[in-house]
Amino acid sequence: MSIAALAPALAEAARIVSRVAAGRSLAEELDSAARSTPRAALLDLTHGTLRRFGRAPAIVRELSHRGKADELVEPLLWCALYALESGRYASYTVVDQAVRACGLLEKWNAKGYVNAVLRGALREQSSLENRIAADPEARYQHPKWWIDLLQRAYPEGWQDTLAAGNTHPPMCLRVNRRRTSVTAYLARLADAGIAARALGDAGVLLERPVAVAELPGFDAGDASVQDAGAQRAAPCLDLQRGQRVLDACAAPGGKTAHVLEIAEVDVTALDSDGARLLRLAHNLERLSLRAELLKADCTRLAEWWRSEPFDRILADVPCSASGIARRRPDLKWLRRAQDLASFAAQQGAILDALWQALRADGKLLYATCSVFPQENDGVIDAFIARHPAAHRLPLPDGGAAQWLPDAEHDGFFYALIAKTA
């Protein structure tokens, strides 16, 4: 990106971050962003700013002498502060382009103010760190309630979990072992100049993210993008040839496809969102896989279930997505502590409904991309207390139920439940 393009990118990023701060979805705002703005720069500025959102407002508060700036100037400062700290641009370039962005936002009177705040951030960098250190949201770049919950749940590892949530997420691939092997695919990546290493039975962790168009054989279905934590689901279902399998909240289909790649089973995949179900269909088509796809709410059994029980059920339930917040950095600022009770109620209702569709001696795998016990062990313990025939089993891969986000994978939780006759 040329230096001159930074001002438009900062201006558009400020508009988007302003709307996210008011409660809008980052993904939706990016979809409607100005097409003239370089996409890579816009993604970097918005995601980087929101990953570090607790920090930038604290810095502005320390440096500003006019109180809260208006709804566009303050987000512009947040984005410019991220740009300064990212090291992607020279400091004088960021200051100059942020001042220019004021004009693009029609905030001409704010030029001197923006210049002063950014120069102050550069001049007072050392003392600023000490001045904001006492603010937990500025220090850990997460909401206070989120910090408190993690501290109580993981007294030994909460700081590492928060730190991981502020990083760029890893890019992991799932090799389609119906078509190739991990060893062979790693060799193809090396030939393409893409550094990677094996991770798990089918996973390949890239040294740095690349566009899927650069991946050898992607269009042919040789590999898919799927986090290593998500790749635990299919093996943990304990699949056997010929079984009837239900993926109850299936779209966009990564786990559905993985099930079909590793076992000769009949799969029914449900999702209540038609657009997401269409993405699932396209993913299966790329991989040359087949499943029965139904647009349905999994809790309304009468609308889709034909009373023939399933041998295995995957319940990848809606959740806070706290384990993948670095991929969707707006979530940690849009979520509220009270949302967890709502999610837990919905998760319990899904389990109660799906339990009716599970065969005696069948197994149900509960999955979330959450790190909060309220959505994980709390939901499972309550479910087992309600259903005497439910018994929790060790996970077949021998791993812990809760994986916290780190440099290799996102945060996921799994619980395998057997149904006795």
Domain assignment of residue 383, yes or no:
yes
Model confidence pLDDT, tens digit, residues 190-223: 999 999 999 999 999 999 999 999 999 999 999 9
Q: Is there a single domain that holds both residue 35 and residue 90?
A: yes
Q: Strand 412-419 vs strand 390-393: parallel, antiparallel, or unpaired?
A: antiparallel
In SS3 terms, 158-192 reads as: HHHHHHHCCCCCCCEEEECCCCCCHHHHHHHHHHC
Using the 8-state DSSP alphabet, how is residue 53 labeled? T
Give the span between the Cα atoms of 383 and 354, in whole angstroms. Answer: 12
Instruction: Count other C-beta atoms under 10 Å from residue 400's C-beta.
Output: 10
| CATH number of residue 52's parent domain | 1.10.940.10
Model confidence pLDDT, tens digit, residues 98-108: 999 999 999 99
Domain assignment of residue 57, yes or no:
yes
Using the 8-state DSSP alphabet, how is residue 373 labeled? G
Does the structure show a pLDDT above 60 at 314?
yes
Domain assignment of residue 104, yes or no:
yes
Q: Is there a single domain that holds both residue 19 and residue 79?
A: yes
The beta strand positions in 114-253, using DSSP E, are 172-175, 196-199, 203-206, 223-225, 244-247
Strand partners, 246: 268, 313
Strand partners, 413: 368, 402
Structure tokens at 310: 């399933």
Q: Is there a single domain that holds both residue 21 and residue 123?
A: yes
Q: Name the phi and psi angles at 361, rounded to 5.
A: 75, 5
Domain assignment of residue 62, yes or no:
yes
Length of the chain: 421
Residues in CB range of 275: below 8 A, 6 or more apart: none
Q: Is there a single domain that holds both residue 270 and residue 391?
A: yes
Give the span between the Cα atoms of 237 and 417, in whole angstroms. Answer: 10
Q: Is there a single domain that holds both residue 279 and residue 352?
A: yes
Does the structure show a pLDDT above 80 at 3?
no
Give the span between the Cα atoms of 4 and 210, in whole angstroms. Answer: 26
Domain assignment of residue 164, yes or no:
no
Structure tokens at 404: 């916290």
Q: Is there a single domain that holds both residue 192 and residue 246?
A: no
Report the number of distinct structural domains present in the chain: 3
Catalytic residues: 369
Q: Is there a single domain that holds both residue 111 and residue 205?
A: no
Mean pLDDT of 228-251: 97
Domain assignment of residue 148, yes or no:
no
| CATH number of residue 216's parent domain | 3.30.70.1170
- Cβ pair 280, 271 in contact under 8 A: yes
Domain assignment of residue 267, yes or no:
yes
Query: Which of 141, 164, 192 represents a domain boundary (last residue)?
Result: 141
Angle at 202 between CA 197 and CA 206, to 5 degrees: 30
Structure tokens at 161: 């979990």
Using the 8-state DSSP alphabet, how is residue 408 labeled? S
Residues in CB range of 136: below 8 A, 6 or more apart: 54, 144, 147
Q: Is there a single domain that holds both residue 199 and residue 252?
A: no
Domain assignment of residue 112, yes or no:
yes
Give the span between the Cα atoms of 208 and 8, in whole angstroms. Answer: 27
pTM of the predicted structure, to 2 decimals: 0.92
Residue 4 — pLDDT band, cuts 50, 70, 90? low
Give the domain range for residue 221.
172-225
Q: Name the phi and psi angles at 379, rounded to 5.
A: -70, -45
| Percentage of residues of the chain with pLDDT beyond 90 | 91
Q: Is there a single domain that holds both residue 86 and residue 213?
A: no
Does the structure show a pLDDT above 80 at 26?
yes
Structure tokens at 5: 């393009």
Give the span between the Cα atoms of 287 and 209, in whole angstroms. Answer: 21
Residue 38 — pLDDT band, cuts 50, 70, 90? confident
Q: Is there a single domain that holds both residue 378 and residue 263?
A: yes
pLDDT for the residue numbered 66: 64
- Cβ pair 231, 258 in contact under 8 A: yes
Q: Is there a single domain that holds both residue 242 and residue 135?
A: no
Q: Is there a single domain that holds both residue 243 and residue 263?
A: yes
| CATH number of residue 311's parent domain | 3.40.50.150
